[in-house]
Amino acid sequence: MEEIFNFIKNFILSAVNGIISEYADETTPMNQIDEKNIVFGAVDLSRYSSKIICAVIPENEEEDESEIGAYKINSDFTVSFLCRGYPQDVLVRQMCRYGAAFRRAVLDDVSLSGTVESSEIGSRKFFTDAGTVGNQMTAVEIGLTVETEDEIEI
């Protein structure tokens, strides 16, 4: 799971950051996601000051023997984009746009830059008031299933 997290992180840094500016306009700034703000697991927001934080949370794994000595592994993640530091109306638009940018990037390159066999976007959940204080933060949680292969010598 940790290796796949690194694939996802590098994909966000290249593919999502590569298109995020296309989602910005005069009323909604879209910030690049810095490597230090992409977290493996739950986020302690008190340790981050960035206006955009991405959490990649491992959920579960299943494997299936596709052929003798080769296994397909499906790994499920929740990829969350947490937006803060702007007025509420901007945060809601940002939340929707980060979700759309991630979806588009994955659909354009399901192999996550050639690092996995395939990936698939699942459900997206939107949280318009995700902070401890009202109207302070928004979040989008995106289900992502990643398929990899593992070969074992027989």
- Residue 123 confidence (pLDDT): 97
- The stretches of the chain forming alpha helices (DSSP H) are 2-11, 17-19, 88-108
Exposed / middle / buried, residue 133 (Cβ in 10 Å: 0-12, 13-18, 19+): exposed
Q: Which residues pair with 147 in a beta bridge?
A: 74, 118
Residue 31 is classified by DSSP as P
The pLDDT assigned to 132 comes to: 72
Task: Please identify every stretch of the chain with a pLDDT value under 70, giving residue numbers as ranges.
Answer: 65-69, 151-154
pTM score: 0.92
Model pLDDT, residue 153: 57
Residue 133's pLDDT is 75
Report pLDDT digits (tens) over 19-45. 999 999 999 999 999 999 999 999 998
pLDDT score recorded for residue 77: 98
- pLDDT computed for residue 154 by the predictor: 55
Measured in whole angstroms, the distance separating CA 150 from the mean position of its chain's CA atoms is 23
The confidence score (pLDDT) of residue 146 equals: 97
Nearest to 138 by CA among 77, 96, 79: 96
